[in-house]
Structure 1
Amino acid sequence: MSITELRVFRESDIVTIKGWFEDAEVQRRLEGMQPLSEWYNYVASKEDYQVWTALDENKQPIGIVMVEQESNYVGYIALVINPILRGKGYGKALVKKVMSLPSTQSIKKWIANIETDNIACLKCFESVGYSFENSIPDEDGYYSLIYISN
């Protein structure tokens, strides 16, 4: 399986990711997105916030990726992979794919804020060239991993 399509996140996708939030790890990491309908209304109203759904060859959702662009060529990136697909390289593929989209080419500094104990996510972003901005986490327990594009 591979990511064959990235499409703009739709309100109907909430049903799919709602099921992902039944997974304890997703719930713990991304509880701030709930309730999902309010989160969707927020991101849909923001020009600088883009969300895509990654689909496989059977049009099944693999994950979602969120990018918030700032006016100073900085972009914040976060992702959620379908819990049953963890550890199969989809996160890495999704990060690479979204960073190569025409709509994200104005981003020169990518930032992923990741909890200190989220080892899989830290390794995912490191594997595509992100590096630790600081050797110690911030006061909320997050590392900032950055990627500077040409």
Structure 2
Amino acid sequence: MDGISYRPFRRVDLAAYAAWFDDAEVARRIDFPNADWVAYVMDPASPAHAVVATRSANDIPLAVLQYDEEPDDGISLLIAIHPALRGQGFGKHVLSAFVAHVRGRYTHVDGHIEDDNFASIACVESCGFVRQAKELEDGFLFYRKLLGVGIS
């Protein structure tokens, strides 16, 4: 799984990404990428960004990551892994590489995970994310990974 790189999400990626939503688990966990989503993540003035994880040998989207810049210099992250890659440790690899990719630009990475999404919970915990609150917020658990020394 070496060689993960990130590039901006492009309009030409939309058809391949939308096809992932034929998978019931993807469709259950993530909102379908409609025209409003595309406009939101591609607007240069938006706090949101979408990137595609690829292997350096090709440019095929293996994961799509949306991150929204937060007012406290952190980001909130959502990851969609290609359905064919689930259960192979790919999520952990993509998340670890992305954290390294954004380290130095942001103070922390936040994730909000449904309390029954055990694979995602295990993934973020294995990457050093720490659960921030005992109570659920709208059915989601809140995790954070600090990205620097001396950051509170």
For normalisation by structure 2, the TM-score amounts to: 0.87
CA–CA distance in structure 2, aligned partners of residues 13 and 35 of structure 1: 11
Partner of 2:124: 125
CA–CA distance in structure 2, aligned partners of residues 19 and 124 of structure 1: 24
Contact 2:109 2:146 in 1 (8 A): yes
* Number of residues of Structure 1 aligned to a counterpart in Structure 2: 146
Residues 85-100 of structure 1 correspond to what in structure 2 (within 5 A)?
85-100=85-100
1:18, distance to aligned residue in structure 2 (A): 0.8
CA shift in 2, pair 1:3/1:80, >3 Å = farther
1:47, distance to aligned residue in structure 2 (A): 3.8
1:35, distance to aligned residue in structure 2 (A): 4.7
For 1:38, the aligned partner's letter is D
The alignment status of 1:24 with 2:24, answered yes or no, reads yes
How much is the aligned-residue C-alpha RMSD, in angstroms?
1.6
CA–CA distance in structure 1, aligned partners of residues 8 and 58 of structure 2: 17
CA–CA distance in structure 1, aligned partners of residues 136 and 113 of structure 2: 9
CA–CA distance in structure 2, aligned partners of residues 36 and 69 of structure 1: 21
Greater Cα shift, 84-93 or 113-122: 84-93
1:96, distance to aligned residue in structure 2 (A): 1.6
- Give me the identity figure in percent: 27
1:80, distance to aligned residue in structure 2 (A): 0.2
List gaps (5 residues or longer) in structure 2. Answer: none
